[in-house]
Structure 1
Amino acid sequence: MEFPFDGTVFVEKILRVQPNMKKLLLLLLRAADTESATVLGNDLFKIMKEKWCANFNSFISEKITLVPGDISCEDLGFKDPDLKEKIYDVAFGINTLEAMHVVNFAKKCFKLKVLVHVSTAYVSKKRRGLVLEKSVDGTSGLVIDVEKQVVEQGLNELIAEGASEKEIKLAMTHLVIKRAKMYGWPNTYVFTKAIGELLIQHLKESISVVILRPTVISSTYKQLFPYWAEDLRTINVLFAGPALGKLPCLVGDIETVFDVIPADIVVNAMIVAILMQNNLLMSIFIKRDHLQEIL
């Protein structure tokens, strides 16, 4: 089961600061059943457990509905992908397919107010200064259908040649990296994130969409408590390593600015974006002290 790091922080904050909310429907979970589709065993929920004590489980049951599924599947379904589908997901990028499936599902939710998509700042490539939106929206010559055809053709050729699953994964990964660099993106991650954005903009039709582009998401700054990190993946290794005595030194330029943003700041931006998109910021959080409490 996978749950985004900033998503965990988001769920905890919503439950903590808005306990009177009606229902939080968790759809975007990779899980085979409702028992495994949970993030509430996380240490981040420690304070809430202390607050609600024996009533914590009943509170969670009342406020949260867990819907196990897989956002890499159409309609966030439960299909077991075959070899070709698994390889295709790896090659073309889960970030791309998931974005497409989520926006298509969102269009079927008639009471939906806003869809918030967390992308990455690096879709704008390596540029300095002001980067206008039109420079990120596909004017580089990228055509999604063409990229899909390139990936499918390469995949079919490898399967026809009898390549092993390991060989196919490696070859397809190299292919997508090559395509990414051809358009100016440094790696598969930002390439597929960029395609995901384009798909959302192309498919969204009349639904309201907010796209957030944080840089590298790191441990929390203040809330729920400082320096919390769910694991030691990515850049968190650089922060936790010295504290654990595992990283005695780090070679680098002392003038370098780390391009990171704390997870709780990202969550605050998500909440404000939702409220502003629905013109609710002033009507709901009219009191300044209440807004400060929320953020």
Structure 2
Amino acid sequence: MGILSISHSTNLLSKIIKIPQNNDWYIPTRRKTRTNVVVFSHQGGGGNVIKSSNLSSVLTERSSSLVSSDHAATTLMDAGNLVLSQNGKNQTDIVVKDIVPYGGPTTTTTLIGLDDGIGIVKFLRGKKFFVTGSTGFLAKVLIEKILRTEPDVGKMYLLIKAKNKQAAMERLQNEIINTELFRCLRQIHGKSYQAFMLSKLVPIVGDICETNLGLDEELYDIIADEVDVIVNSAANTTFDERYDTAININTRGPCRLMAIAKKCKKLKLFLHVSTAYVNGQRQGRIMERPFSIGDCIAREKLIPGVPPKYLPTLDIENEINMILKNKGNIEDNLLAQKMKEMGLERARRYGWQDTYVFTKAMGEMMIDKLREDIPVVVIRPSVIESTLNEPFPGWMEGNRMMDPIVLCYGKGQLTGFLVDPNGVLDVVPADMVVNATLAAMAKHGTTQKRDINVYQIASSVVNPLVFQDLTRLLYEHYTSSPCIDSKGNPIQVPIMKLFSSSEEFSGHLWRDAIQKTGLTAMASSNGKMSQKIENICRKSVEQAKYLAKIYEPYTFYGGRFVINLFSYSSITEGNLDATGKVVVM
């Protein structure tokens, strides 16, 4: 999914993520039962697993099931106890040991082991990686964590789009090695930092959109002979991207990469980074399950009064052929807009919100179709935002997803938005996504079972952030830490108004624009200037309305992503020790 940056303020981030501030917030302990289950009971006041004071009731009302899994366990909440019971699947049992209360920075470091540890460091040692999308936000956090966790990892071949080797090396230096994200590694290695990084990171000139990824024969053979793990993090994340562009990267790209995976002699795992929102317009509790070729969410919904035979059937090959046919019949000056419109129309026809998540879902389908006996893990994070802890709090890059709305609000340019006040914004910090990714990588890269496993990394069930709570947090933040205008004065912002209808939101935008520009007063004194300002206001209002329309499927999203116990343990407890066990600091 896209990226959300609320602020680089650790204080605000801790409020949004709802970090426990004392031992009374979430203190699970283990006690024995007669049956083969593990029961955790809350030791603080009230007997609930999650303390919900000062938070929306949605937190408790929508969390009747905290975590569940198609892989390991189904979770039931009953009278203050969290009971984990087997679901009958033939998967490795996951037993969580020695869970201790969060005690702040003075607490003695304690281990949370998954049996004898996940074995992440052991798995990483000596392994060689091939990473696409390596200069992207999440991939860089993953690369940094791997190098910091296990410096004895093998080489990491990074696919970089560039015209030649020199240009690829420049991008490696400018966009990875010399960035702020890697400052901890820079401090660890000191003067040998550059040498260390260049001994591990190998830029590979290529393009996910080209046959054989644009690799020359020598590089292709090196990848095929040496690589243990393939990580596909390449994606086009623009919601309303041209259909031809999005399908080429998000759907056909994984196909090209899978073709190379089949040539790899030592491959232990194919890990694909997707998004939780590939679940499209599914509603309610959404479980972790892979897509199969031809799956269509519109058919799942079974529209009342419409016989199944009249519902659309998704054929990916037909979609690709339709694009090629239409491109030949559209004039060049209209092509870009027509391709954008086609992407949104096809996505909504089949039950997805937009072109981005639709083409990502089709990419997952193609991976499942082509994988044969290759072990596959699909990581589905929700909205990825800035780091919570590692390598340091608040690191962020780019300006996507909700960023424009948050920034415009802080600058006083947007005082309301189209959103369900009781809806949930599903956000997860980048380092938590990476923790879960490494845990899944080690688990399935070690067992190498010839199957496909899906992990949703999300917060809407276990720790939902309700929009009306978010507006309060943003108001408090910008009140205490306001943006500064061009004259050096702090910008005062009102609490953001939330509108549930497009008509109300549109009316608010016009009233707000007129008030800020003094358009009514100018109308009588200077007609020419008034017309110019009115045109500016109209353009601003239309831009805000378009933004709201694009975001509407997410700001009114009715799905809640259930995550399994394995992912939950990996992302909530943070760091890893030298044996790959999760460490609570």
Q: TM-score range by the shorter chain?
A: 0.7 to 0.9
Confirm or deny: 8 A CA contact 1:123 1:136 kept in the other structure: no
Match of 2:208 in 1: 71
| Secondary structure, counterpart of 2:202 in structure 1 | strand
| Secondary structure, counterpart of 1:71 in structure 2 | coil
Aligned ranges 1:198-277 → 2 under 5 Å: 198-237=365-404, 245=411, 251=417, 255-277=422-444
Give the structure with the larger helix fraction.
1
| Secondary structure, counterpart of 1:117 in structure 2 | strand
Match of 2:325 in 1: 153
1:112 equivalent in alignment to 2:267: yes
CA shift digits 1:48-70 (9 cap, x unpaired): 11221210111112112111211
Alpha-carbon distance in structure 1 between the residues aligned to 2:180 and 2:150: 19
Match of 2:161 in 1: 30
Q: Which amino acid aligns with 1:9?
A: V
Q: 1:25 to 1:219 in 2, by over 3 A?
A: same
Alpha-carbon distance in structure 1 between the residues aligned to 2:136 and 2:577: 31
Q: 1:171 to 1:248 in 2, by over 3 A?
A: closer
Confirm or deny: 8 A CA contact 2:347 2:358 kept in the other structure: yes
Alpha-carbon distance in structure 1 between the residues aligned to 2:254 and 2:358: 13
Match of 1:18 in 2: 150
Match of 2:355 in 1: 188
CA shift digits 1:166-208 (9 cap, x unpaired): 4212112211221111101111001100111111111112211
Confirm or deny: 8 A CA contact 1:88 1:155 kept in the other structure: no
Cα offset, 1:277, TM superposition: 0.3
Alpha-carbon distance in structure 1 between the residues aligned to 2:289 and 2:192: 51
Q: Report the count of equivalent residues.
A: 277
Decide which moves more: 98-107 or 233-242.
233-242
Match of 2:255 in 1: 100
Cα offset, 1:31, TM superposition: 2.4
Alpha-carbon distance in structure 1 between the residues aligned to 2:211 and 2:584: 35
Alpha-carbon distance in structure 2 between the residues aligned to 1:146 and 1:214: 29
| Secondary structure, counterpart of 2:245 in structure 1 | helix
Q: Which amino acid aligns with 2:187?
A: E
> Pick from 182, 207, 214: which aligns with 1:45?
182
Match of 2:295 in 1: 139
| Secondary structure, counterpart of 1:213 in structure 2 | strand
Match of 1:6 in 2: 138
Alpha-carbon distance in structure 2 between the residues aligned to 1:128 and 1:120: 16
Cα offset, 1:108, TM superposition: 1.4
1:61 equivalent in alignment to 2:198: yes
Match of 2:481 in 1: none
Question: What percentage of residue pairs aligned between the two structures are identical?
Answer: 33
Q: Which amino acid aligns with 2:349?
A: M
Alpha-carbon distance in structure 2 between the residues aligned to 1:287 and 1:17: 8
Confirm or deny: 8 A CA contact 1:49 1:56 kept in the other structure: yes
CA shift digits 1:129-185 (9 cap, x unpaired): 343567843332211111111111111222xxxx22x42121122112211111011
Confirm or deny: 8 A CA contact 1:217 1:261 kept in the other structure: yes
Cα offset, 1:276, TM superposition: 0.8
* Structure 2 residue runs without a partner (length 5+): 1-132, 217-241, 297-312, 448-574
Cα offset, 1:113, TM superposition: 0.7
Q: Which amino acid aligns with 2:162?
A: A
Alpha-carbon distance in structure 1 between the residues aligned to 2:584 and 2:142: 12
Q: 1:170 to 1:241 in 2, by over 3 A?
A: closer
Match of 2:555 in 1: none
Decide which moves more: 185-194 or 14-23.
14-23
Confirm or deny: 8 A CA contact 2:243 2:355 kept in the other structure: no
Give the structure with the larger strand fraction.
2
Cα offset, 1:294, TM superposition: 11
Q: 1:214 to 1:114 in 2, by over 3 A?
A: same
Alpha-carbon distance in structure 2 between the residues aligned to 1:287 and 1:225: 17
Q: Which amino acid aligns with 1:123?
A: V
Q: 1:240 to 1:291 in 2, by over 3 A?
A: farther
Q: Which amino acid aligns with 1:224?
A: P
Alpha-carbon distance in structure 2 between the residues aligned to 1:5 and 1:92: 21
Q: 1:264 to 1:237 in 2, by over 3 A?
A: farther
Match of 2:582 in 1: 292
| Secondary structure, counterpart of 1:36 in structure 2 | helix
Confirm or deny: 8 A CA contact 2:291 2:368 kept in the other structure: no
Q: 1:261 to 1:11 in 2, by over 3 A?
A: same
Cα RMSD over matched residues?
Answer: 3.0
Confirm or deny: 8 A CA contact 1:218 1:261 kept in the other structure: yes
Q: 1:12 to 1:241 in 2, by over 3 A?
A: farther
CA shift digits 1:96-149 (9 cap, x unpaired): 121111111211111111010011111111223343567843332211111111
Aligned ranges 1:84-99 → 2 under 5 Å: 89-90=244-245, 92-99=247-254
Alpha-carbon distance in structure 2 between the residues aligned to 1:182 and 1:155: 20
Match of 1:82 in 2: none
Q: 1:253 to 1:75 in 2, by over 3 A?
A: same
Decide which moves more: 192-201 or 119-128.
119-128
Q: Which amino acid aligns with 2:377?
A: V
Alpha-carbon distance in structure 2 between the residues aligned to 1:293 and 1:69: 38
